Amino acid sequence: MFRLLSALGNAWKIPELRRRILFTLGMLAIYEVGIFIPTPGINGKELGRIFDELAQATGGGLLNLLDMFTGGALSHATVFALGIMPYISATIIVETLLATAIPSLERLRKEGPAGYRKLHQYARYATVLLAVINSFMYAILLEKAIPAQFQAQIVLFPGMGFRLLTILTMTSGMAMIMWLAEQITERGIGNGMSLLMTASIVGRIPLAIRDIGMRLGPGAFGENPLAPLAVIFMLTVFVFVVFVVIFVEQGQRRVPVQYARRVVGGKVFSGQSTYLPLKVNTGGVLPIIFAVSLLYFPIQIAGFIPQLRGLADWFSRTSVAFNLIYAVLILFFTYFCTAITAHQFLDASEQMKKVGAFIPGIRPGQATVEYLDLILTRVTFLAAVYLVAIAIFPDVLMAWMKIPPRVASFFGGTSLLIVVGVTLDTMKQIESHLLMRHYEGFMKRGRLRSRR
């Protein structure tokens, strides 16, 4: 702890790093303010009450998970109700999926910084398009589906004017979020998208603590009071899960690489040995995000079709059917996200041939690509099992201990992976600045490994 505080104190002494940290905190403060600015024409308090009822009815449901990503803005229909998810989805679709499938976009990606800037511009356009579609669907949901189910007036003045105003307000809020994220990435410290999402998740911690406090003691509010020993057990489990996540996220499979002997100017240089690091969890948190997005689609459809509203009960987070489908989707998307990066094996093999490097016992060229693919396939299986366990554990804990959904979400799943991963990334960037200026980093021995 003393070493951590000392490193943060050293970071404050560096003018450039201090400016970056203050700028990042300022942008995060603006984002937190925007979360509480209401969209005109909506009864946000009544909507928040209905969201709580929906979350309880579906065992915490996916609505509660999506609301956590927006810091509560979705459940109160504020200007930042769409959150950072459309920006992340558009970036993944354009810069990862389409750039791999469409040759013209793949050529842009290989052009370097100029090509990436062009791809990122396309991602911005896709973000605005997704924001318009999502805000329009949200306006329809507030006008028709929710009032019909709960007999409540959410929209004060329904009609086309309200829909257009909602689209304009929420799309503008999404553009503001996108600008904040890019400003943090460029002028602050850390990745802007990840930090905004982390701020949304961390902002829900006080509500989770309140939920625990309301369940403590025999006379506590609620149907399932918690004993103090149960809270101690939960804290122990939380620390253990965080340790496991840090261990796996930092884990690497190191493939040995040998450099051939070289003759330069009549001198013989012996070959050096190094390694090629393959990250254990290559896909990061993307498989869980994709699985949640796909599972949320039936809930959206059921909201518009009265005959399918029973589907929400079947997709309860504590049901066996939901968790089985959830696990299968995570397994699939883990391998899918890893397969997208398969082109890196060919690039790595070509680079190794150019510099005279090889993997001991493996021929250069296609054999090296196949060997790396085999290793990553085996490692990906471990990553898939790990992601399934982390994603389902909150639901198991919620069903077993009868704890509130808001509390259970911090014991695993997307929220914990994002918070831990972003914290490690940010610490690594601060440590790089410190080491570059001859200050000690956060670790006494070694350095924080990159998550990329």
CATH of residue 254's domain is: 1.10.3370.10
**Is there a contact between 416 and 245 (Cβ–Cβ < 8 Å)?**
yes
Whether residue 194 sits in one domain with residue 231: no
Whether 307 is in a domain gets the answer yes
How many domains, in total, are found in the chain? 2
Whether residue 256 sits in one domain with residue 373: yes
Decide which of 411, 427, 444 is a domain's last residue. Answer: 411
Whether 444 is in a domain gets the answer no
Whether 186 is in a domain gets the answer yes
Going by the DSSP 8-state scheme, the letter that residue 36 receives in this structure is T
Nearest partner of 348 among 377, 368, 367, judged by Cα: 368
Q: Compute the distance between CA of residue 176 and CA of residue 169 in angstroms, rounded to an integer.
A: 11
Whether residue 118 sits in one domain with residue 32: yes
Whether residue 89 sits in one domain with residue 184: yes
* CA 34 to chain CA mean position, Å: 20
Whether 419 is in a domain gets the answer no
Whether 177 is in a domain gets the answer yes
Whether 24 is in a domain gets the answer yes
**Is there a contact between 204 and 72 (Cβ–Cβ < 8 Å)?**
yes
DSSP calls for 255-289: EEEEEPPEEETTEEEPPPEEEEEEESSTTTTHHHH
First to last CA, the chain: 26
* CA 24 to chain CA mean position, Å: 19
Q: For residue 92, how many other CB atoms are within 10 A of its CB? A: 18
**Is there a contact between 444 and 3 (Cβ–Cβ < 8 Å)?**
yes
Whether residue 157 sits in one domain with residue 38: yes
Whether residue 77 sits in one domain with residue 28: yes
Whether residue 121 sits in one domain with residue 44: yes
Whether residue 243 sits in one domain with residue 189: no
Q: What is the pTM of this model?
A: 0.75
Mention every residue, 6+ apart, whose C-beta is less than 8 A from residue 126.
90, 93, 94
DSSP calls for 170-237: HHHHHHHHHHHHHHHHHHSSS-HHHHHHHHHHHTTHHHHHHHHHHHBSTT-SSSS-B-HHHHHHHHHH
Instruction: Please report, for residues 188, 326, 395, the alpha-carbon distance to residue 320 in angstroms, rounded to integers and kept in the order given.
Output: 44, 10, 10
The order of strands in the sheet holding 252-259 is: 273-279, 252-259, 357-358
Q: Is 150 helix (H, G, I), strand (E, B) or coil?
A: helix
Domain residue limits at 230: 224-411
Longest CA–CA separation in the chain, Å: 88
> Which residues partner with 216 through β-bridges?
226
In b/e form, how buried is each residue of 12-39, taking b as 16+ CB within 10 angstroms?
eebeebeebbebbeebbeebeebbeebb
Structure tokens that stand for 351 in this block:
């680079």
Residue 297: exposed, middle, or buried by beta-carbon count in 10 A (0-12, 13-18, 19+)? exposed
Whether residue 269 sits in one domain with residue 187: no
Structure tokens that stand for 338 in this block:
């890893």
Going by the DSSP 8-state scheme, the letter that residue 58 receives in this structure is T
**Is there a contact between 146 and 152 (Cβ–Cβ < 8 Å)?**
yes
Q: Is 360 helix (H, G, I), strand (E, B) or coil?
A: coil
Whether residue 193 sits in one domain with residue 249: no
Whether residue 189 sits in one domain with residue 56: yes
Q: Compute the distance between CA of residue 404 and CA of residue 424 in angstroms, rounded to an integer.
A: 28
Going by the DSSP 8-state scheme, the letter that residue 445 receives in this structure is S
**Is there a contact between 158 and 317 (Cβ–Cβ < 8 Å)?**
no
Structure tokens that stand for 277 in this block:
């690091």
Whether 139 is in a domain gets the answer yes
Whether 6 is in a domain gets the answer no
* CA 217 to chain CA mean position, Å: 35
Q: Residue 451: what pLDDT? A: 42
Question: What pLDDT tens digit does each residue of the chain (452 aa) get?
Answer: 555 566 667 777 778 888 888 999 999 999 988 888 888 888 877 777 777 766 665 555 556 666 777 777 777 888 998 888 788 778 878 877 787 778 888 788 777 778 878 888 888 999 999 899 888 888 887 887 665 566 667 788 888 888 999 999 999 999 999 999 989 988 888 888 888 888 888 887 777 777 777 766 554 445 556 677 777 888 888 888 888 888 888 888 888 888 776 655 556 556 677 777 888 888 777 787 777 767 766 665 665 555 655 665 666 666 777 778 888 888 888 888 777 666 666 667 777 777 777 788 877 777 887 888 888 888 888 888 988 888 888 877 777 777 776 677 776 667 788 888 788 878 878 877 777 766 555 555 555 554 44
Whether residue 264 sits in one domain with residue 116: no
Q: Compute the distance between CA of residue 56 and CA of residue 253 in angstroms, rounded to an integer.
A: 42
Decide which of 169, 203, 237 is a domain's last residue. Answer: 203
Report phi then psi at 172, rounded to 5: -65, -40
